[in-house]
Amino acid sequence: MPRAGLTPATVVREAAVLADEVGYEKLTLAALAARLGVALPSLYKHVRGVDALHQQLAVLPTAEIADVLTTAAAGRAGGDALRAVAAAYRAYARQHPGRYPAAQRAPDPADAEHVAAGERAAGAIRAILLGYGLDGDDAIDAIRMFRAAVHGFVALEAAGGFGLPRDTDRSFDQLIAGLDRAYRSWGDR
Amino acid sequence: MPRAGLTPATVVREAAVLADEVGYEKLTLAALAARLGVALPSLYKHVRGVDALHQQLAVLPTAEIADVLTTAAAGRAGGDALRAVAAAYRAYARQHPGRYPAAQRAPDPADAEHVAAGERAAGAIRAILLGYGLDGDDAIDAIRMFRAAVHGFVALEAAGGFGLPRDTDRSFDQLIAGLDRAYRSWGDR
DNA sequence: CCTTAAAGCTAATGCTATTAGCCAAGATGC
DNA sequence: GCATCTTGGCTAATAGCATTAGCTTTAAGG
């Protein structure tokens, strides 16, 4: 019987694919093992368990989000960059309904790769905020504001939380427009 | 052997208490049955299963949030009301870490009580927005903005997503201040 | 070629959810 | 006050998933 040739990385990557197909909460070691053509306990040679898999699984989408945001911001500034980055974030969440929730898991401080990916994502936003004249603690607050607004929106949207027959695209545009105004008027009362 | 005297309502209410203690994702029929002093399968006389329990469990916190928001808004208007309602929302989420996530489940349109509770919560926000001159589709967008921003913030906060050593209370104040500015400048470019 | 680390396996255990079918508690009707 | 009938709660059985233990054999490396 030849070996499957798995590594922790391949297991986690396949878990990401599977999560997008069946949903994050329905991601199961049993289904993952079947997908990889391997018996369930064999996975324990590569991941410590389902909880560790979830933790590991957070790294990939975090890095992908960082990439997507960085790409979207390239060559733009101000409200232009803000809209592009927000749209890219939302698009990622919709295209990856399984791995996006995985990314919400906070990094283990000991996981340098995960921490770095998170910082890269935050850095993409921070660069835009610099164009609004925001830095230091203001930038931290403004980044948290961006994350709260955009994550909150896509989470509620994915959960079917917007019931009224009003186009969510419009609402999202208004959200980002409001964010833009909030950033521009940061110092005001 | 005397009966436990359970009803669907008591089961769901105890589930809410248990969820706050052990966390929404760790809420289990087995633990709930033990808590109620009953064998696990007995619960099936009151709820159709774990999925139905989750759905039912969404109603209580939605109604409680509606209450909390309504109370907080009473006697206030404008930015004052906005701050009070946002603070009340966040406080509820922190005090009820188990049932708050339960409330994110979208209502079954056939569940009139659930739908009504959601509308009551939205109504509390809508009333405030009226003070900003927002109604119609603008109000819908603005309500979605409020929900996205505040839910996103408390969700990220609860998940430990704000890693930097910056006081989250300050960040929350800034978020709501930004929301207030966005509402006040709604028509602007 | 031999050794050895480890990838993958089977077997076993435990927890959770779910269904089926039984029994008795307690409400209802006479 | 008694008979009846609904139904809440039970035990037993099944199935799925996670986890651990221990074995086998691959395949890399001296």
- B123-150 exposure pattern, b = at least 16 Cβ within 10 A, e = fewer: bbbbbbbeebebeeebbbbbbbbbbbbb
Distance, CA of B135 to chain centre = 23
Inter-chain CB proximity A185 and B186 less than 8 Å:
no
- pLDDT score of A1 more than 80: no
Measured CA A135 to C1' C2 distance, in angstroms: 64
Question: Residue B47: which residues within 8 A CB-CB, separation 6 or more?
Answer: B8, B11, B12, B53, B56
The reported pLDDT for the residue numbered B5 is: 85
Inter-chain CB proximity A106 and B161 less than 8 Å:
yes
What is the ipTM, given to two decimal places? 0.94
Interchain contact A31–B (C-beta under 8 A): no
Give the mutation candidate from B104, B115, B141 for the A interface (greatest A CB count, under 10 A): B141
Q: Label residue A5 by pLDDT band (50, 70, 90).
A: confident
The reported pLDDT for the residue numbered B4 is: 75
Give the mutation candidate from B145, B146, B172, B179 for the A interface (greatest A CB count, under 10 A): B145
Interchain contact B158–A (C-beta under 8 A): no
> Cα separation of B115 and A183, whole Å?
35
Interchain contact B183–A (C-beta under 8 A): yes
| DSSP letters spanning A74-113 | TT--HHHHHHHHHHHHHHHHHH-TTHHHHTTSPPPTT-HH
Neighbours of A168 (CB within 10 A): 17
Inter-chain CB proximity B166 and A137 less than 8 Å:
yes
Interchain contact A166–B (C-beta under 8 A): yes
Specify the 3-state DSSP secondary structure of B2. coil
The reported pLDDT for the residue numbered B128 is: 98
What is the CATH architecture assignment of B8-56?
Orthogonal Bundle (1.10)
Interchain contact B135–A (C-beta under 8 A): no
The reported pLDDT for the residue numbered A4 is: 75
Strand D protein footprint, C-beta under 7 A:
A 1-3, 28-31, 40-41, 44, 49-51; B 1, 3-6, 37-42, 44-46
**What CATH code is assigned to A59-184?**
1.10.357.10
> Cα separation of B185 and B146, whole Å?
15
Chain B from 32 to 61: CB within 8 A of any A CB = none
Angle, CA B177 vertex, CA B176 and CA B180 arms, to 5° = 85
Residues A29-62: tens digit of each pLDDT: 999 999 999 999 999 999 999 999 999 999 999 9
Residues A67-102: tens digit of each pLDDT: 999 999 999 999 999 999 999 999 999 999 999 999
Question: Using an 8 Å Cβ cutoff, are A107 and A118 in contact?
Answer: yes
| Interface contacts A/B by beta carbons within 8 Å | 125
The reported pLDDT for the residue numbered B144 is: 98
Task: Calculate mean pLDDT across residues A179-183.
Answer: 98
What is the average pLDDT value for chain A, to the nearest integer? 97
Domain ranges of chain A: 8-56, 59-184
pLDDT in tens, chain B (189 residues): 567 789 999 999 999 999 999 999 999 999 999 999 999 999 999 999 999 999 999 999 999 999 999 999 999 999 999 999 999 999 999 999 999 999 999 999 999 999 999 999 999 999 999 999 999 999 999 999 999 999 999 999 999 999 999 999 999 999 999 999 999 999 998
Q: Which residue is nearest to nucleotide C16 (CA to C1')?
A: B30
The reported pLDDT for the residue numbered B89 is: 98
The reported pLDDT for the residue numbered B3 is: 76
